[in-house]
A = this chain, B = another copy of it.
Amino acid sequence: MSQLAATDINEANQKAVEAILSAQAVLVDLRPAGKAIPGFKPDLITYAGPPISWERMCFVQKRAIINLAIHEGLADTPEKADKLISRGEITIAPNHQYNNVSGMCGATSASLPVLVFEDRLHERVAYTWLQTDLTSFGDKYERGVKEIEFIQEILAPVMQATIREAGGINVKELLARGLQMGDELHGSFDASRGIFLNWIMPYMLRTDFPKDILAQVGDYFLSNQGRWSVGNLMMGGCKVMMDAARDIRLSTVITTMASNGVEFGIRVSGLGDKWFTGPAGAIVGRVFPGYQASDSAPCIGDSPISETRGLGGTVLSASPSHAKFMGVNFSDAVAHTKSMYEVSIAEDPTYRIPYLDFRGTPVGLDLNKIIKTGITPKINAAMAHKEGGHPMIGAGVAAVPFEAFKAALEAFVQEYV
């Protein structure tokens, strides 16, 4: 690239990073996907990661989609659902195409309640549904549906009323508080869940719901499934903040990272909605008792939006506990954070890492710097059982394929040079 182009790219990247840093992330509502998300039709099921054909999709993600097709009444058996999807009578599409993000298999359908996040400064809206590991890991149909019914009938109405009563929840600040307390904000959210409950309790108690309903919401937040609550807030919050940097001409800032379990995809600000992919990486870490590493599907989900925003694996140095949980040496976590500064545009004044003397988190992953240095992000991923039928089976770290960045650079050169 010419000298002039490099200056222009730098300017574009500064603009992108300023947009990310100034972006707001306010949880403003909760409604069924079919009502909240423009164009989200009753026969649509969306999924995590870059676009992939039904044939090439991995088993567990297919299973999650089929489960939802049955739950939505689009088919009455798995076989029929499979056939209808193959024929295109049930439409499937990536979540990101609808400004939606969701963890793991990420399957989202019209009746599922999605959290609505706004960045009023940049006029962006993003969504994520109230998934838990019972719904998003392609678990058994009965378990998944039982969980979905609880979410639809109890949790979502209460949360909707609570969010409205509160007049919105500042997710950007919530995540900043959690990061100060050892949540790395991809796999660990215990501190931010507590802060969230502290924030919402007075509003929840002023909704019209009877106490026995609210008590069930209390049970949920205390349960293993409740651990996913702030994970969902993280995804929607990071998505709406990263969207502020979309479509900036000449910017090499990475705006999306996501995986469908077959391909890991990235998108780049200056290259619009095009995806660039490489093979989804294996997850190396801690496998829960009763499972083995070979049971795990590769890295899957839209949750790498955390690392796209410079959180999660990028700031594992903020969470010695989560590093220990995954079996990562803390010194390696610190070294990785430091390496991420080399491939990022700026440091974030809102998100700071206590263990690194409150240095701001690396923000604005730069495609050029990644290509030049060969340094790539690492994703703190949860493990889905590759055959489905189970909740989360472990947690660890997955590499991001360098191929995706190379493909993006080629496209960038083609577009601009």
In Å, the complex CA distance between A180 and B182 comes to: 7
Chain A interface residues (CB < 8 Å from chain B): 177, 180-183, 190-191, 193-199, 201-206, 211-212, 214-215, 218-219, 221-222, 226, 320-321, 324, 330, 354-355, 357-358
Question: Distance in Å from the Cβ of A101 to the closest Cβ of chain B?
Answer: 25
Partner of A201, one of B182, B183, B191, B197: B197
Inter-subunit contact B358/A324 (CB<8 Å): yes
Residues of B within 8 A of A191 (CB): 181-182, 191, 194
Question: Distance in Å from the Cβ of A163 to the closest Cβ of chain B?
Answer: 15
Question: Distance in Å from the Cβ of A262 to the closest Cβ of chain B?
Answer: 36
| Chain A residues touching B, majority SS | helix
Partner of A194, one of B197, B206, B324: B197
Partner of A181, one of B181, B203, B324: B181
Inter-subunit contact A205/B215 (CB<8 Å): yes
Tell me whether A206 and B211 are in contact in the complex, defined as CB-CB below 8 angstroms, given that A180-B182, A321-B180, A357-B330 are known contacts.
yes
> What are 16 sample pairs from A and B whose C-beta atoms fall under 8 A apart?
A180-B321, A181-B181, A181-B191, A182-B354, A194-B194, A194-B196, A201-B221, A201-B222, A202-B215, A202-B218, A204-B218, A205-B211, A320-B354, A320-B355, A320-B357, A321-B354
In Å, the complex CA distance between A356 and B61 comes to: 41
Residue of B nearest to A330 (CB): B357
Residues of B within 8 A of A214 (CB): 205, 211
Residues of B within 8 A of A330 (CB): 357
Residues of B within 8 A of A354 (CB): 182, 320-321
Partner of A182, one of B182, B198, B215, B218: B182
Tell me whether A195 and B190 are in contact in the complex, defined as CB-CB below 8 angstroms, given that A206-B215, A320-B355, A321-B354 are known contacts.
yes
Residues of B within 8 A of A197 (CB): 194, 197-198, 201
In Å, the complex CA distance between A193 and B191 comes to: 9
Residues of B within 8 A of A222 (CB): 198-199, 201-202
Residues of B within 8 A of A177 (CB): 190
In Å, the complex CA distance between A354 and B330 comes to: 10
Residues of B within 8 A of A183 (CB): 181
